[in-house]
Amino acid sequence: MQTTGRAHPPSASSPAPAPGSAARWTRWALWALWLASRAVLLLLVLKVWVMPGPDVTSDVHVIYRNWYGVLGEGTFPLTDVTWQYPPAAALAILSPAVLPWLGYAEAFFVLAFLVDLLVFALLLRAGRDGGRSSHGAWLWTAGVPLLGPTVYSRYDLMVTAVAVGALLALERRPRLAGALIGFGAMLKVWPALLLAGAVRRATWAGAAVTAGVVAAGFALTMPGAFAFLTFQRDRGTEVESLGALVLHVARQYGWEGQVLLNYGSMEFIGPHVETVSRAAMLLTAAAFGWLLFWRWRARPGRPSGPGEAARRVVWGPAVPALAGLVAVLMFTVTSRVISPQYMVWLVGVAAVCVSFRGGGAGPTGWVVVAACAVTLLEFPLYFGDVVGSTPLGLTLLLLRNGLLVAATVMAADRLWEVTVGAAPGEPAEPAGAEPPRESPRSA
């Protein structure tokens, strides 16, 4: 209903809020939450406060510190089966050298904090672009601290920063995105999965050239650059993985296997473990097959169906990030190992996805955040129950892995819907997304 009459000027005693004041207050609240949560993480890794359970910082104090000494002599840890990383991981392990006035562990934690800040700033800045929002920064702010001190005690945060930068650059700077993906793959392999949603030749070329140059450089200058391939191949079924649930349940019915420290993680040893590991690898192969089938069905420019009514498939800018999230989720869920630090990969990629307005990845992103909260409970707080296959430990694993499976199905369903499954005449790109500024096949 409209009213007529003279408009009253605003009262001098109660001025109208300035345009954008709500957004400024929101940003201040976001910064305050980020700073407070990260202060808690620093207090935990510096052991001002001590979290119950195993000491998650021992990887930095002992393992990383020992690797630092070996790498500093110009060679990779050739006889250490726990070194299971591509050659550029050496840069992450050696990075505390840039802060020589601090001890190794303290320098590593400070660098982790700064990398966390960098990702937060990138997501916050991306949220100011047209077609995006600050939801990604909110998800990152909430998800990372839910992993507890583990997230600052592994170099996965550094890898995730490279992946986030690549996804944010995909739309406008495809060559830079490809270079970051290639470099990230040489840090910890999984960023190569982000190519699942890349269609520009410049991205693929940038990834291939960068990975090749980095690999060749390390191979020519440091012995043992690719020894990690053998160590990674021989890993078994880790107690937190999806396949491990079968063995946890079997324990309740008299299965006589045990859990031992093997290849740097707690793994099941005993009858039928190899069968479970092979089944996990078959699931990974099936996931890869699904991604290939999706790419064939969703090729940009391909008719969506027979007849003149079929539309052409057009990808919105949110699709490559969503495809990357689906790929990373699939390969994490089907892996023989789901270490707690893997969750930060999912948080980072999901944060980029939810930063797109109308992209539809929000529910998946917050399911990932919920899985992070359960992960903190199963490691480190109740890890003894997980290792012992107690009812509590089994419940936590069922809940966490169930959330990851749910997130995978949700993300894959959304990806199929926005690229393949829309009815003829409906838009192919995510609702609210802007169309690409150039042809997806251009460089």
Tens digits of residue pLDDT in 214-259: 999 999 999 888 877 776 666 789 999 999 999 999 999 999 899 9
Q: What confidence score (pLDDT) does residue 432 get?
A: 37
Strand 258-262 and strand 265-269: the pairing is antiparallel
Residue 204 near residue 442 (C-beta atoms within 8 A): no
Please state the pTM of the whole predicted model.
0.89
Q: What confidence score (pLDDT) does residue 4 get?
A: 36
Which residue did the predictor score with more confidence, 425 or 39?
A: 39
Q: What is the rounded CA–CA span in Å between residue 183 and residue 217? A: 12
Residue 327 near residue 362 (C-beta atoms within 8 A): no
Which pLDDT band holds residue 130 (cuts at 50, 70, 90)? confident
Which pLDDT band holds residue 168 (cuts at 50, 70, 90)? very high
Average pLDDT for 126-135: 87
Residue 144 has pLDDT above 80, yes or no: yes
267 phi, psi to nearest 5 deg: -125, 155
Average pLDDT for 43-70: 96
Q: What confidence score (pLDDT) does residue 310 get?
A: 61
Q: What is the rounded CA–CA span in Å between residue 215 and residue 377? A: 38
Which pLDDT band holds residue 5 (cuts at 50, 70, 90)? very low
Q: What is the rounded CA–CA span in Å between residue 296 and residue 300? A: 9
The region of weakest confidence among 10-19, 53-62, 235-244 is 10-19
Residue 327 near residue 190 (C-beta atoms within 8 A): no
Average pLDDT for 320-342: 96
Q: What is the rounded CA–CA span in Å between residue 338 and residue 386? A: 13
Which residue did the predictor score with more confidence, 313 or 365?
A: 365
Average pLDDT for 275-288: 96
Which pLDDT band holds residue 80 (cuts at 50, 70, 90)? confident
Which residue did the predictor score with more confidence, 291 or 7?
A: 291
Which pLDDT band holds residue 312 (cuts at 50, 70, 90)? low
Average pLDDT, whole number, for the chain? 88
Which pLDDT band holds residue 406 (cuts at 50, 70, 90)? very high
Helices (H) and strands (E) counted in the chain, each on its own, are 17, 2
Residue 335 near residue 389 (C-beta atoms within 8 A): no
Sign of the CA dihedral 77, 80, 85, 91?
Answer: negative
Q: What is the rounded CA–CA span in Å between residue 175 and residue 181? A: 10
Q: What is the rounded CA–CA span in Å between residue 354 and residue 363? A: 9
Question: CB atoms < 10 A from the CB of 152, how many?
Answer: 29
Which pLDDT band holds residue 309 (cuts at 50, 70, 90)? low
Tell me the three state secondary structure of residue 262. strand
Please give the structure tokens belonging to residue 422.
């829309």
Q: What is the rounded CA–CA span in Å between residue 358 and residue 354? A: 8
The region of weakest confidence among 102-106, 192-196, 316-320, 332-336 is 316-320
Residue 185 has pLDDT above 60, yes or no: yes
Place of tokens 């944060």: 351
Residue 359 has pLDDT above 90, yes or no: no
Share of the chain above pLDDT 70, in %: 88
What are the residues whose beta carbons fall under 8 Å from the beta carbon of 300, sequence distance 6 or more?
A: 199, 313, 314, 315, 439, 440, 441
Angle at the Cα of 430 from the Cα atoms of 426 and 434, rounded to 5 degrees: 100
Average pLDDT for 411-421: 92
Which residue did the predictor score with more confidence, 328 or 312?
A: 328
The region of weakest confidence among 108-122, 149-163, 346-360 is 346-360
Q: What is the rounded CA–CA span in Å between residue 170 and residue 188? A: 20
DSSP class of residue 74 equals T
Residue 113 near residue 38 (C-beta atoms within 8 A): yes
Q: Note the helical H segments in 357-422.
A: 362-376, 383-387, 391-416
How far does Cα 253 stand from its chain's mean position?
Answer: 36
Residue 442 has pLDDT above 90, yes or no: no
Q: What confidence score (pLDDT) does residue 231 get?
A: 60
DSSP bridge pairs for 265: 262
Question: CB atoms < 10 A from the CB of 307, how many?
Answer: 7
What are the residues whose beta carbons fall under 8 Å from the beta carbon of 127, sequence distance 6 or more?
A: 133, 134, 135, 136, 137, 355
Q: What is the rounded CA–CA span in Å between residue 150 and residue 160? A: 14
How far does Cα 331 stand from its chain's mean position?
Answer: 11
